[in-house]
Structure 1
Amino acid sequence: MRFALTEDQTALRDAVRAPLAAADWPALAEMGLFGAMTDLGLDETDLAPVLEEIGFATVALPVTATAFVAVPLLAALGDERASAAAGGRLRVAVAGPGGITPFGADADLILHLGDGVARVGVAAAEASTVDTSLGAVLSVGGGILTDDRALVEAAAARAALGHAAELVGLGRRMLELTVGYVKQRHQFGAPVGSFQAVKHQLADAYLGLEFARPAVLAAAWALSASASADAAVDAAVDAAVDVGAAVGAAVVLAAEAAHTASRAAIQCHGAIGYTVEYELHRYAKRAWALAALAGPGDHLDALSETIGLPVAKELS
């Protein structure tokens, strides 16, 4: 397995940066991002770097849910709404734990994925989250869209992988912001970034992100390979990796890396890091919200069971 990006993947990642930074939905639609996995024939490995850039930009739009989760699912079902979503004319949100749905306030369609069933959701009320830019709503599942377990589980895995990739991007954004700050902030006649305690914290944050990124790419490869029509590839994938475990590992590592980056960033910024109006909180709060939606604890329990470790039970 080669984790280095191809020239095409790098070009696509670089191309989306400007429209993501501007939260320009029409521009993203014009370049074909929403139909990337259907009209352009790309797969999870091609979009993983793009998802990281979505996190880096902290865009307040359901780009990941629409392009990476909804369009492939709707297209596989032959749903007529797939074309509209792929063209950027339909915004789709995906409900998380408890029906909390990020970007549900402005979504044209809400999907609930769970227990092998996909349902069309209904927005019931506004939801309060630590990140107010999420535009979250509480949604309840309505009519069944499909009960094809394989399709639903693949969509749910892509949703989880999307959270993981965005968390890596958010961690990178917080780290870059902090490195820039400690280089220019002086104390005792020297840049704060020259202090060993600051260097160690930022090095730990960087290390966590560098471990999480290949886990995200590995999970993307596992998802892509598991969907292959090649029987030989399917057998090799089944023998080499468990898709659920790969996605779970990506979520756990990405959530931990983003948490470490946010903690280090806030502390290394000093007093301004605790000021909610400061730019850093935009990224930290998005990371905290996405980590909660991704449910790393549940994935960690599943991974523990996979390798035969006992799972702690909640006290009743």
Structure 2
Amino acid sequence: MEMASKPAAAKSKPARTVRGGETWRKMRKDWDLYALLLPGLAFLLVFKYTPMYGLLISFQDFSIFRGISGSPWVGLKHFERLVHTEQFIDVLTNTILISVYKLVFLFPLPIVIAVLLNELRRMAFKRIVQSVIYLPHFISWVIVSGLFINLLSVNGGLVNTVIERMGGEPIAFFLDENVFRSVLVGTEGWKEVGWGTIVYLAAIASIDPQLYEAARMDGANRFRQIVHVTVPGIASTIVLMLILRLGNMLEAGTEQVLVMYNPVVYNVADVIGSYVYRVGLGASDYSFSTAVGLFESVVAFALIVTGNWFCKTYLGRSIW
């Protein structure tokens, strides 16, 4: 038995060597394609992984004069402070609520619009609608904020002018705590729904037309074709977008909040990103703000893993 096992072991090494050689030959053959990866890898290394060294600040009483190497270590002091800070609990609550509102009200919209646009037969009208709803994606939040401040202003704003002429009372959209979260959800929907629609339209375009033909031959009307062909055909894209959206739950549109909120609505609009900005740069508390940012990243990673596991377990689809 020992004599028989030795040749088998000897044969396994050349097999691994052959596989390794084939891999290198393929890489040398397609070297130009692999070279295209270098700018992206360099970007990730310089702007994503190298800054992770700064996470050490969250475990120190950081001083800009001493630097990371000279600042004293304090362990989990700032994380304990984070957990016991009442203001951070309020900020975390705002972040989760705003993200849930956006997920519930905005995530299905691009899917519905993409399906409806796909049913249009007038290509000219379809292209016009696509362009109109897609263009706001390229407008910065600073411009969007200024646009909606003018539209929703109490003094002379178009929306409040219409409300007053209909006999109602003007609404301070940017100063009313009961309304401001709705403004955040509505403005993000106006700006970003078109981008999601284009993604789903691209997924619909990849569905085999023969599936629709087979459905029509089986007597399926347009609605049944949507339910049994279109929606299953883009299910993988829906799952991917949902998992990515879950990973951004604690981001909650920081840039949008920063340009739209004000001290009057801090109680309902201050999210983790804006809190880190105010504490880190405003109060120069770099260690605590870095601890908050690290907490956000860890929770985001956990949400992605959990969302992927849930989709894989119950929907049979996942991103890994």
TM-score, normalised on structure 2? 0.26
Between structure 1 and structure 2, the one with the greater Rg is 2
TM-score, normalised on structure 1? 0.26
Higher relative contact order (CA 8 A, sep 6+): 2
- Select the structure that is richer in helix: 2
